[in-house]
Structure 1
Amino acid sequence: MSLPAEFGLIARHFAPLAGEGALGLGDDAALLDPPPGRTLVLAADAMVAGVHFLPDDPPDSIARKLLRVNLSDLAAMGAVPLAYLVTTAFPRGVAQDWVACFAAGLAADQAEFGVALLGGDTVATDGPASFSLTILGHVAPGTALRRVGARVGDDAWVSGSIGDGALGLLALTGRLPADAELADRYRLPRPRLGLGQALVGLARAAMDVSDGLVQDFGHLARAAGCGVEIRAEDVPLSAPAGAALAADPALRSRILTGGDDYELAFAADPADADRIRAAGLAAGVQVTRIGRFVAGEGVRVLDAAGESVQLSGSGWSHF
C-alpha cells in the first residue's frame, strides 16, 4: 500500500533529518530526555513569504534562515542547542524539488549547529508559504541570560555588525545596488551561540537584535526601568554597510532600526570590559561597546557632538 501524499513527503524529505527521540517521525509526538542537571530553553519563530523572506529566495536559504533565527534566540540566553520541531505550510502543488532543497538546507545547518529534527507538521496552503520552528536548548539551572538585569551605569554592547540584513533586503529588492555580502547577511543570519554561552556570568542582560538595534535596546532599558544612550558613530558597520552609508547618510535610520541583524545586544558592568572583549575573541566574534544605560527612560541616539540623532522610526513591528 502506498503512503498518502503528505506522509510520503515526510518520509522522503524529513525522516532523514530525524534525531534520537523523534521515533522516525512515525508517532504523534517525540520523546526527549534533557541532559542531566540542565534546564530546557524553548523558543519559537514563524516566517511567512513576503514578510520574513522573499518569495523567490532559494528554498535552502529559507530553511536555514528559519532555523538560524531560532538559534539566535538560544544564543541570547546563553543556551546550547539540542533539537527542534518544524511546521511547514507549503503552497498547494509545490514542486518536490523545492521541498527537497528546503530539507537540504535544514540538513546543512543541522550538521553545522549540532541539532536534529524531533517532529512537527506539514500542510498545504492556498496562501503564501509559511513556516514555524520551535527550538530546544539547555543551560545550567539559574544561568540563562535574560532581558531583565541591566543597571544604570552599565555599558551597552553589541556583537558583529549592524544594518547588513536591512541593507541586504534593499539590495535584493533593487533599492540599493546589488551586493552579495549584504544579501547573504539578510538570507543567512549568524546566530552568536558561542558568544552567548561565553557571556553567561558576564552579561547582566541580553537579547538578540531582530527588530532593530534601537528598538531592541529599548526592550532591555524598559525591562531595567532605565534609559540607554547609543553613540551612532560607535555602532559597528561592515565594509559594504559603511560604504552605503557614506554614499547616502539617510541610510543611518535604516541601519539602526531596520532589523534582521540577529546580533546580540547586552549590558555589562564597565569593570568587565576586558573580560567581555576576551569572550568575544574566544568566540571569534567582534564585540563593540556602543553606549551606556542611564537614568530615565527610552533610547537616545547621539552623534559625535553628543546631540540627539533624529530617526525616521524605532524598529520593526508586525502590527
Structure 2
Amino acid sequence: MRGEFDLIRKYFYQRQKNRDDVHLGLGDDCAIVKAPHDARLVISTDTLVEGTHFIAGTNPAWIAHKALASNLSDLAAMGGTPAWCSLALTLPEVHEPWLQSFSDAFFRLADEYGIQLIGGDTTKGPLSISITVHGFVPEEIALTRAGAAVDDWVYVTGYLGDSKAGLELILSELPNSELNKKVLEKRHYLSEPKVLAGQALLGVASSAIDISDGLISDIRHILEASGVGISIDVSQLPVSGELLEYLNDDLALTRQYALSSGEEYELCFTVPETKKYLLEGISAQSDTRFTCIGQVNSVNQIVLHDQGQPLSWTLSGYDHFKVNQ
C-alpha cells in the first residue's frame, strides 16, 4: 500500500507548470510565492464533506470539480484573479482509481483558471476535501457585499434553480434516465465559476456575492452589509427549460426553486443606473448571461413581487446544519 508521500508524489506532484510568481511549490514545509506590488490578496476556504455536500459513490471527478469550483466562485464574487491553492484531502482508505479520477479533474479545472496547487495535506478519516484559494485584486477596487445604494439595479448571472432540482434527482431512488434529468444532475456538481464576469465587473458593480446558500439567503448579506432593502420581481428570475420541464411548467414553484436553490455558484450583484450601459459589453466579453431581477431601496428588507403584485412566500436557502432540507 502506498504511503502518504507516495500518493502526493504520484497524483499531485509536478502536475502543473510553475507560475512565475511561485518560487517554491509542493515538496517543502511551506510554499514561497510573490504577490504583485500593486495588488491585494483575496483568500477563501471551503470544505466538502461526504454525506453533506455529496453522497457516497459520487463520481470523484465531479467531487473534485465541485470542490475547486466552489472556491473559485468566492474569488469571482470579489473580482479576483486566481493564483494559488492548497488542498487538504481526508480519505477513509487509499483507492487509486478514485485518486486518479479526482486529481485529473482537479488539475483540469485548475489549469483552466490558471490556479496552481502549492501545498496541502493528506490524512485518513471520513472523506472530506478542504481547499484554500488565493487570488489578486487591484488595490482599492475589490467587489464586496457592502456598497449597494438606493436605486441600484440587482442582477444575477446564468440560470437559477437547477442545482436544487439536480440534488433532488441525485437523492431520489428512482432511475433518472431522461436527458433533461441527467443535465440537472450535472449542473449540481459541474457549475462553472463566473471568474471572468467578476473581474469585468470591477469598478462597475457596487456590490456582489456568489450564490452558494440560495439567492434569498445570500442577497440578505448584501442587504445587511450595505444597509439597504431590495425588491425582487420573481417574474424576471432566469430559469432553464430543463427546470421548467422537471417541475411540470409550474411557474410559481420554479421561481421558488430559483430563489432557494443552494450551490448554484452564480453571481448576484448591484449596479448603479449610471453604469448599466456597460453591462451589455461585459456580458459579451465574459460570455455570461446577466439578468436584472430587481432594485435596491431603503426599506431594509427583501420584498418579493410578481410584476408589482406582492407575494407572501416564506422561503429559506441551504443551511448545512439543518437536516431533511
Same topology, TM > 0.5: yes
2:246 to 227, 244, 247: 244
Report what 1:215 is aligned to: 217
Q: 1:27-51 deviations in whole A, cap 9, x for unaligned?
A: 1110001134221111111100121
Q: Are 1:221 and 1:298, in contact at CA under 8 Å, matched by a contact in 2?
A: yes
Name the CA distance, whole Å, in 2 between partners of 1:227 and 1:216.
Answer: 13
The alpha-carbon deviation at position 71 of structure 1 amounts to 0.5
Report what 1:255 is aligned to: 258
Amino acid corresponding to residue 64 of structure 1 in structure 2: H
Q: 1:235-280 deviations in whole A, cap 9, x for unaligned?
A: 0011111323444443433331121111110011123222122211
The alpha-carbon deviation at position 306 of structure 1 amounts to 2.0
Q: Say which SS state the counterpart of residue 86 (structure 1) adopts.
A: strand
The alpha-carbon deviation at position 54 of structure 1 amounts to 2.3
Q: 1:98-122 deviations in whole A, cap 9, x for unaligned?
A: 1111111111112211111100110
Name the CA distance, whole Å, in 1 between partners of 2:173 and 2:204.
Answer: 40
The alpha-carbon deviation at position 22 of structure 1 amounts to 7.2
Report what 1:100 is aligned to: 100
Name the CA distance, whole Å, in 2 between partners of 1:34 and 1:254.
Answer: 41
Name the CA distance, whole Å, in 2 between partners of 1:273 and 1:110.
Answer: 32
Say if 2:41 is the partner of 1:43. no
Q: Are 1:87 and 1:122, in contact at CA under 8 Å, matched by a contact in 2?
A: yes
Counterpart mapping for 1:96-175 below 5 A: 96-125=96-125, 127=126, 129-174=127-172
Report what 2:29 is aligned to: 28
Amino acid corresponding to residue 90 of structure 1 in structure 2: L
Report what 1:287 is aligned to: 290
Amino acid corresponding to residue 237 of structure 1 in structure 2: V
Name the CA distance, whole Å, in 1 between partners of 2:305 and 2:46.
Answer: 32
1:5 to 3, 6, 25: 3
Say if 2:201 is the partner of 1:203. no
Q: Say which SS state the counterpart of residue 166 (structure 1) adopts.
A: helix
Say if 2:84 is the partner of 1:83. yes
Name the CA distance, whole Å, in 2 between partners of 1:138 and 1:175.
Answer: 44
Q: Are 1:67 and 1:133, in contact at CA under 8 Å, matched by a contact in 2?
A: yes
The alpha-carbon deviation at position 23 of structure 1 amounts to 3.9
Name the CA distance, whole Å, in 1 between partners of 2:241 and 2:253.
Answer: 17
Amino acid corresponding to residue 43 of structure 2 in structure 1: L
Instruction: Give identity over the alignment, percent.
Output: 34
Q: 1:75-95 deviations in whole A, cap 9, x for unaligned?
A: 11111111100100011x231
Count of equivalent residues: 313
Q: Say which SS state the counterpart of residue 307 (structure 2) adopts.
A: coil
Name the CA distance, whole Å, in 1 between partners of 2:57 and 2:277.
Answer: 44
Name the CA distance, whole Å, in 1 between partners of 2:312 and 2:282.
Answer: 31
Say if 1:18 and 1:85 are closer, same or farther in 2 by CA, change over 3 A. farther
Name the CA distance, whole Å, in 2 between partners of 1:119 and 1:82.
Answer: 13
Q: Are 1:303 and 1:309, in contact at CA under 8 Å, matched by a contact in 2?
A: no
Name the CA distance, whole Å, in 1 between partners of 2:312 and 2:187.
Answer: 26
- Range with greater deviation from structure 2 (168-177 or 253-262): 168-177
Q: Are 1:19 and 1:117, in contact at CA under 8 Å, matched by a contact in 2?
A: no
- Range with greater deviation from structure 2 (240-249 or 132-141): 240-249
The alpha-carbon deviation at position 124 of structure 1 amounts to 0.6
Q: Are 1:205 and 1:266, in contact at CA under 8 Å, matched by a contact in 2?
A: yes
The alpha-carbon deviation at position 295 of structure 1 amounts to 1.2
Say if 1:240 and 1:254 are closer, same or farther in 2 by CA, change over 3 A. same
- Range with greater deviation from structure 2 (55-64 or 285-294): 55-64
The alpha-carbon deviation at position 298 of structure 1 amounts to 2.2
Q: Are 1:19 and 1:118, in contact at CA under 8 Å, matched by a contact in 2?
A: no
Say if 1:24 and 1:229 are closer, same or farther in 2 by CA, change over 3 A. closer
Amino acid corresponding to residue 57 of structure 1 in structure 2: T
Structure 1 length-normalised TM:
0.93
Gaps of 5+ in 1: none
Amino acid corresponding to residue 56 of structure 1 in structure 2: G
Q: 1:188-236 deviations in whole A, cap 9, x for unaligned?
A: 1111111111100100000101100111111111111111111111000
Q: Are 2:26 and 2:118, in contact at CA under 8 Å, matched by a contact in 1?
A: yes
Q: Are 1:225 and 1:297, in contact at CA under 8 Å, matched by a contact in 2?
A: yes
Name the CA distance, whole Å, in 1 between partners of 2:232 and 2:194.
Answer: 21
Name the CA distance, whole Å, in 2 between partners of 1:230 and 1:17.
Answer: 45
